[in-house]
Each structure stands twice: as C-alpha cells, then as structure tokens.
Amino acid sequence: MARITRTRLARQLRGNLELLQLGGVNELPVRQARKPAARPARGQPAPAPAALHPAPQARTAPAKVGAPVVVPSAALQELKAFDSPQARALEPVAEQVRVCGACKLCSSRTQTVFGTGDPRSPLMIVGEAPGGDEDARGVPFVGRAGKLLTDIIEKGMKYRREHVYICNVLKCRPPGNRNPEPDEIEACRGFLARQIEIINPKVILAVGLFPAQWLTGRKEPIGRLRGQVFDMHGRKVIATYHPAYVLRNYTVEVRKKVHEDVLLAVGILGPGPLVA
C-alpha cells in the first residue's frame, strides 16, 4: 500500500475542506471516537472477541491511492491581487487546475503550478513543466532556470519580470523532472489554451522544445524552431532554448542565439514598460 506523509495528508485534507466550503458546505458532522472497552474486573469473563462484534463501517470511502493532491493555490491569491478582468477570468481556471486529477501527475505533485505575472501583459512566456522548486512553491520559474529567465527578461529584454505572464505546458511536476509525456500534455492542453485565450498576448515566447512544438504545431527540433516568428491566430510565437539548457551549455554561441531570439520579441513589442 502507498504510504502518505502526515504533511501531505494534512494538505490534502485542507484542500478538500476548502473545496467543500467553495461548494457551500460550512459544517461537517464529527463522529465521537468510541471509548475503549473497560477492562473486565478481576474474576469476570473477558468480552467476546472483536470479530464477533465488528465495528460499523465508516460511510466515507477509503482514501484512493493516486487521489489528487489539492492545496490552496499561490496563483489564486496573486490573481486576486491583480484584480483585472483577465485576472478574474483566470480565477476559475486556476481553481480547476488546483483540483485537477486528469493525469497521473496529480498524485505525485506537492501542488499545482498555474502561472504568475500580470495577466494584462502583451508578453507571455511558456515553459515546459514545474521543477522541484516550483512544485514546492506553486510558482513557475523560481529555481536556477527561473533566475536565468529573470535575467533574460530584465537584462536582455529590459522588461520587468512581474509585467510578463509566465506559465508552463504542464501544471504539475513530472517526477524527477523527466520530460512531459504525450498523455500529460494532452490532459493539460485545455488549461494553457484558456490562459492564452484570456490573456490574449501579442507575443508568446516558448522556452524549450515542448512549448515550442505545442505552440507552433510542428514536430521539429528546437534548433530549427528558434530564430523565427510564427503566426498563431494573429499572435506571434517565438521559440528559444530553455534556460536549463542554457545553464548546461553556457557558451557564448548558445547565449547569443537566445539573445537574438528574445530581441525578435522586443522588436515586436517595443520598449517597456509592458504594462501601464
């Protein structure tokens, strides 16, 4: 039987209680624990074995192995703070993601990672999937690759990171940071599609192979997809190498290519600030 830690159980319980609350349930009946049977007085017969008096079965189903991990989402709090029509439209989508159990990743995640940044932004950056740091914090690109992405946005493009909307193809971390699998990408497809529809960015920068293929619909390697501007229903899509790849291949040549790619985006968007 799969074991679950107390912390994870507490998180799941809190998430489930919040869901019930969202559904209008404000009270739950609490069943008192049975008192342990009194020890028989000396010389008295022992009570009949428990098997002859089976305890009534709990009416709730036993916890399913693989049930989704549900915790309050960092994204929802951020969206509430942004308080724009786009932010309000994203809130129910963030809630759907928070409780999503559409693929196997739901049972190994710590929490979902919906997206971050200003939903009014004309620039959206799409990565592959949350890594360990993102899974722990519920926010995309907050680890080492995220630090490099912030430098690319702030030093390379001269925009402020909080003015860019950042999210991923997958909203849950694949175990061990393995590549997203086709069924996981399909299960998550509708969420990214809604984010794009609601935010309606002018430019989408795809960082890495999976978002590049997702957004362009092409099955070519990233080396061939980068360096050009694609049209996606009137939106411009530009692909570049993933920051984690850049960290692993920190050469002048790779960094120069990323710089060229992001300048394509700046050429379309113009100088900052991105959001008034």
Residues that bind ligand URA (CB under 6 A): 127-131, 134, 140-141, 145-146, 168, 208, 244
Range 91-95, long-range pairs (CB < 8 A, 24+ positions) = 93/191, 93/194, 93/195, 93/198, 95/22
**Nearer residue to ligand URA within complex by CB, 83 or 221:** 221
Q: Which of 234, 235, 223, 219 has its CA nearest to residue 126?
A: 235
Say what angle helices 182-199 and 85-98 make with each other, to 10 degrees: 160
- Burial tier of 210 (Cβ tally within 10 Å: 0-12, 13-18, 19+): buried
Measured from the CB atom, the residue of 19 and 245 that comes closer to ligand URA is 245
**Cβ atoms 187, 178 nearer than 8 A:** no
Beta carbon of residue 179, minimum distance to ligand URA (angstroms, whole number): 11
Least distance in angstroms from the C-beta of 48 to ligand URA: 59
Q: How far is the CB of 109 from ligand URA (least distance, A)?
A: 13
Q: Least Å distance between CB 257 and ligand URA?
A: 18
Judged by CB, which is closer to ligand URA: 88, or 147?
A: 147
Determine contact, residues 248/211, Cβ cutoff 8 Å. Answer: no
- Kindly state the tokens that stand for 116: 């971050």
Nearer to ligand URA, 49 or 121 (CB): 121
If the CB atoms of residues 159 and 241 are measured against ligand URA, the closer one turns out to be 241
User: Which residue has the closest beta carbon to ligand URA?
Assistant: 127
Question: C-beta of 36: minimal distance to ligand URA in Å?
Answer: 50
How distant is the alpha carbon of residue 170 from its chain centre? Answer: 7
Smallest distance from ligand URA to CB 89, Å: 22
Our CA angle for 193, 245, 238, nearest 5°, is 40
The least distance separating ligand URA from the CB of residue 35, rounded to whole angstroms, comes to 51
- What proportions of the chain, in percent to the nearest 5, are helix, strand and coil? 45, 10, 45
Instruction: Provide the angle, in degrees to the nearest 10, between the axes of the packed helices 182-199 and 209-216.
Output: 60
Decide whether 122 or 243 has the Cβ nearer to ligand URA: 243
Compute the distance between CA of residue 175 and CA of residue 198 in angstroms, rounded to an integer.
30
Q: Which is nearer to ligand URA, 15 or 117 (CB)?
A: 117
Q: Least distance in Å: CB of 178 to ligand URA? A: 12
How far is 267 from 246, CA to CA, in rounded Å?
22
The CA distance from 120 to 114, in Å, is: 16
Nearer to ligand URA, 117 or 127 (CB): 127
Q: How many whole angstroms separate alpha carbon 189 and alpha carbon 11?
A: 26
